[in-house]
Structure 1
Amino acid sequence: MTTQDHQGAAEAADGQALAAAGGLVYPVAPGYRVKVRQGPGTDTPVVRLLADGARIKIRCQTHGEKVSGPYGTSDIWDNIAPGEYISDTYVRTGSSGMVAPTCVN
């Protein structure tokens, strides 16, 4: 087994453990410090920046402003904490659609 195989196996095990703990964790696009916003649009205040290489847990998803990013163009926004949203176009979910429940206001 190569070092890369070991790393992939470890990441898969981490993902399974986190899924068992109540949610999946997704990587943010490499090379980006993504702005976390107060709502699902670029017209809402920036709450904080995610570090390059961050991994996030998506609590729920909602539709908002259409944004283009490294993973395409979409109006899906990921809620990662109360009052914290990032455009799904910066998250590698493996899907162009929703991967989490719809946020309830």
Structure 2
Amino acid sequence: MTTGYAASATAATSVARYPVAPGYRVNVRSGPGTQYPIVRVLSIGVSVPIYCQKPGETVTGPYGTSDIWDNIASGEYVADAYVNTGRDGYVAKRCGG
């Protein structure tokens, strides 16, 4: 069964990471919108993994205006307008549900 574990660990480490806008401490929310509670705040200068993305509330940030929210951990979302993905659209699969 260690083979399955190794495959899972490899898949988890291959998720692309993207830098948060310089100088910003970004709120991490429990869902894709500002009406969701803040679960933590990202430190300045961090990069985040994007496991999946989903549409939500439209937000304007340093990288434009977007309704895309990035899932960075289980139950944790940040507005894509604050993450430098290098694209205006989706860079990861859509989140289910």
TM (normalized to structure 2)? 0.86
Post-superposition Cα deviations, 1:30-66, rounded to whole Å, max 9, x if no partner, equal 0000000000000000000000001000000000000
User: 1:22: how far off?
Assistant: 1.5
Give the structure with the higher percent helix: 1
User: 1:72: how far off?
Assistant: 0.2
Ranges in structure 2 where 5+ consecutive residues have no aligned partner: 1-10
SS in 1 for 2:81: helix
- Which has the higher relative contact order, 1 or 2, with Cα contacts under 8 A spaced 6 or more apart? 2
Q: Which residue of 1 aligns with 2:68?
A: 76
RMSD of aligned alpha carbons: 1.4
SS in 2 for 1:64: strand
Matched, 1:95 2:87: yes
The number of aligned residues is 87
The sequence identity of aligned pairs, in percent, is 60
Q: Which residue of 2 aligns with 1:10?
A: none
2-structure distance, mates of 1:25, 1:81: 12
User: 1:81: how far off?
Assistant: 0.5
TM (normalized to structure 1)? 0.80
